[in-house]
Chain A
Amino acid sequence: MIGVELVKLVLRPRTWVVLGMLVALPTLVAVLLAVTDVAPGPGEGPPFLSAVLTDGTLFPLAALGVVLPLFLPIAVAVLGGDAVAGEVQSGTLRYLLVRPVGRLRLLVAKLVTVVVFVVLAVLVVAAVAAVEGRLLLGTAPATGTVSLSGSTLTPQQLAWRTALALAYMVVCMLGVAAVALFLSTLTSSSVGAALGTVGLLIASTVLLGLDAASALHPYLPTRYWLAFVDLFRDPILWDDVVRGLLVQLGYLVVFGLAAWANFSTSDVDG
């Protein structure tokens, strides 16, 4: 079943359009930076962007920092929201279920497919950004890449920390995927499920800016998204990364179970 879902993912033009859009934004940023030579000041704008003018090897991270807060979650919301509701809309859900495909199996396959898409998206964005960084923004200084704490990182250190950061971003999207999947079992409208998910993320972002909601901050899905920056301090600051992992796992478990509970007991009228 997972194989079938992956084939469907690959055969959908939408998948490639979304990937193209995810790549297009960082590319535009790279071009603008290279042409104007005007980078945001240190501490302003998306993470790492202030440093890329002197060190193009950091551009993959900068690119993901640009994509992560908005573009990637929206893509995940669209895919996750379409997972079950889209099958209802095309009239194929009932035929899958009488094939028969178990409802739990179907949900798991859908979730895995979204995760595969996220992995693919993160890798593609990072790879394209790596090439762009090298070509447009120049290579690392001979002394090596400077970490956020001021010390220098060897290329090996940089490589595995980048890998960790990519993995962390994938995990960050798990919560979004689970919420979207749950909403997708609730409604027969893919757009509704996707918008609901995006709405939740916007609400989370708004609450993060509100000091009165500080008690809620540690539980908000977007709270630790940018914690991957801490992986480039010396020594690595694990606290927020670990909390981020726990929050995402929490969302995955709660909304995953809710999706399963709802889907396995609901009448399939579509």
Chain B
Amino acid sequence: MSGTAVIRTRGLTKRYGELRAVDGIDLEVAEGAVYGFLGANGSGKTTTVRMLLGLVLPTEGSAEVLGAPMPASRTTVLPQVGALVEGPGAYDHLSGRLNLALLDAAGPDPLPRRDRRRRCAEVLEQVGLDPADRRPVRAYSLGMRQRLGLAAALLRRPRLLVLDEPTNGLDPQGIREIRTLLLALNAEGTTIFLSSHLLAEIEQMCTDVGVLDRGRLVLQDRLDQLLRPSGLVEVHSPDAHAAARLLGDAVVEVAGERMLVRADDAASLNHHLVGSGVRVARLGPYERDLEQVVLEASSVPPAPVETRAEVLTS
């Protein structure tokens, strides 16, 4: 990975009694990255995020955020971090803008009051909410609440955004807007740590991927490394067995009429097969998508729902 690490954990562990909600994970998030933190519900994503933010104290291991140990340095680190943790939180009887203003006023900030007010209006517009909206948050839809939570995370122009399921409750249009916004912020230098159980979301946005499976980090790499060409060609043929005999060691896998063949060039493989009298129904370079990569990494069959950490993180 290039650049300095914005988040680095070593053996980070959280145990609840017997259960290891997070089990010795070594995260490494480079500056300027959009890091996708993938995992099923209850795999320990939220607990990890909470530990990074100093809300939950790790049982073992250490975490560094922006180069300083957490939670020891939270007073210096957290002002540079914007966070959305497990859904937005707001005072229902107050307007979105007042919620933001109160949250902003709760902590220290060098900005004068007038600039703070302007900043609240700015971030509200940025996430697509109307700063003049006087309705109480009670009247907001789930998507609007989510946008308000994002606005709160963006309020102080943080160097690092830690977002837990940021597009939860948004419609496809909203998801696209937020994605555009986050990518624009990233282009300006903000590092984004994004946890999600939505593969597509990660695949579309992220430069790096970490996969959490029942508390363990089973995969961590650059996305382009994970999805690099495999050097395999996928062949569908009614004469699969004949083809397998013909190609010998180059065949990696045969399943029914489908086979994977190691070959540099799909076109010449096709020519070779057809020339030898093998009928080819379909043929093309084999590209893994993120879903397959993730499924391979967390190859152990999923545990029954009730034994997972879900209860504890919800």
Contact = CB atoms under 8 A, between A and B. Distances in A.
Interface of A: 1, 3-4, 7-8, 11-13, 90-102, 265, 267-269
A11 B55 contact: no
A123 B210 CA distance: 59
11 contacts: A4-B105, A7-B102, A91-B87, A91-B89, A95-B85, A97-B54, A99-B103, A99-B107, A100-B74, A102-B75, A267-B56
A82 to B, nearest CB: 12
Given A13-B93, A92-B91, A95-B152, 9 more contacts: A8-B102, A94-B86, A95-B83, A97-B54, A97-B55, A98-B81, A100-B74, A100-B75, A101-B106
Contacts, number: 78
A205 B284 CA distance: 83
Contacts of B85: 94-95, 98
Sorting the interface of chain B by its residue count into under 10, 10 to 19, 20 to 34 or 35 or more gives 20 to 34
A228 B66 CA distance: 56
A100 B78 contact: yes
A1 B102 contact: no
Given A267-B57, A269-B50, A95 B92 contact: no
Interface of B: 50, 53-57, 74-75, 78-79, 81, 83, 85-94, 98, 102-103, 105-107, 152, 312-313
Contacts of B152: 95
A90 B92 contact: yes
Contacts of A98: 53-55, 78, 81, 83, 85
Contacts of B88: 91
A7 B91 CA distance: 12
A140 to B, nearest CB: 44
A4 B101 CA distance: 9
> Which of A11, A90, A93, A267 gathers most chain B CB within 10 Å?
A267
A269 B312 CA distance: 8
Given A98-B83, A267-B56, A269-B50, A92 B89 contact: yes
Nearest to A87: B89
Contacts of B54: 97-98, 100
A99 B85 CA distance: 12
B91 A8 contact: yes
Given A8-B91, A90-B90, A267-B56, A3 B105 contact: yes
Nearest to A3: B105
Contacts of A3: 105
A104 to B, nearest CB: 12
A201 B94 CA distance: 33
Contacts of A269: 50, 55-56, 312-313
B78 A99 contact: yes
Nearest to B88: A91
Contact of A91 (B90, B94, B102): B90
B103 A12 contact: no
A159 B87 CA distance: 53
Chain A CB within 10 A, most for which of B78, B81, B87, B92: B78
B106 A1 contact: yes
Contact of A268 (B55, B87, B103): B55
